[in-house]
């Protein structure tokens, strides 16, 4: 069941759902708007001929910090990682889904390539997989509303929520625009 505004506010007020910093004005009828953080990662495609997910490391992407009041320019066809300004913490019986904002989507901004699902137990910022499918550069500014989080109740609490020692949760506690850690699945590669 998708949570309505009153249920979302009650979970945040009780501390069961962490949203930090929390601005009650960001709560929508069935979601919470999230704002863009200041760190981005962009591809260093001048040195590499391909991406191998099994051996990829942080050198694939360059980290950028955008100062207050300055824009990040997302060029046509470009892919970059960004993150939410808010830290999110989900209880063991709630999942989150990241969706784009309609007004930005109508300009060609996509906020996730495939990873729009947030497991119960997750704690950290949400990394956004930003792309521009328009024909013109788009200016994205830290602090702007960039996506929305939808929350759903599970039928019961997860037995092994995200962050459980047996899961290998690579992004628990992430801060900033964290690059892919897929290669951790193949330590011998």
Domain that holds residue 78: 5-164
Please state whether the peptide bond connecting residue 21 to the residue before it is cis, i.e. omega within 30 degrees of 0: yes
Decide if 35 is inside a domain. Answer: yes
CATH number, position 113: 2.70.40.10
Phi, psi of 129 (to 5 degrees): -100, 90
Q: Which of 70, 78, 86, 129 is catalytic?
A: 129
* Number of residues written out for the chain: 189
Decide if 132 is inside a domain. Answer: yes
Q: Which residues are annotated as a binding site for dCTP?
A: 101-106, 119, 127-129, 148, 162, 170, 174
Reply yes or no on whether 129 is catalytic. Answer: yes
Q: Which residues are annotated as a binding site?
A: 101-106, 119, 127-129, 148, 162, 170, 174
Domain count within the chain: 1
Looking from the CA of 103 toward its CB, the CA atoms found within 13 Å total 7
Decide if 55 is inside a domain. Answer: yes
Would you write out the chain's pLDDT as a tens digit for each of its 189 residues?
999 999 999 999 999 999 999 999 999 999 999 999 999 999 877 677 777 787 776 677 889 999 989 999 999 999 999 999 999 999 999 999 999 999 999 999 999 988 899 999 999 999 999 999 999 999 999 999 999 999 999 999 999 999 999 888 988 989 999 887 878 878 776
């Amino acid at each position: 069941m998708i949570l309505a505004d009153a249920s979302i506010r009650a979970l945040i007020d009780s501390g069961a759902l962490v949203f930090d910093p929390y601005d009650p004005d960001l709560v929508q009828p069935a979601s919470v708007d999230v704002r863009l953080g200041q760190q981005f990662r962009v591809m260093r495609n001048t040195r590499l001929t391909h991406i191998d997910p099994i051996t990829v490391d942080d050198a694939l992407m360059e980290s950028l910090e955008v100062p207050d009041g300055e824009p990040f320019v997302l060029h046509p066809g470009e892919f970059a990682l960004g993150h939410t300004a808010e830290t999110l913490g989900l209880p063991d019986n709630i999942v989150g889904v990241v969706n784009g904002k309609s007004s930005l989507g109508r300009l060609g901004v996509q906020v996730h390539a495939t990873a729009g699902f947030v497991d119960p137990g997750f704690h950290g910022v949400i990394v956004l997989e930003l792309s521009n499918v328009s024909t013109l550069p788009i200016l994205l500014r830290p602090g702007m509303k960039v996506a929305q989080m939808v929350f759903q109740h599970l039928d019961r609490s997860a037995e092994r929520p995200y962050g459980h020692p047996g899961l290998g949760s690579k992004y628990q506690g992430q801060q900033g625009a964290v690059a892919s850690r897929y290669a951790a699945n193949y330590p011998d590669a």
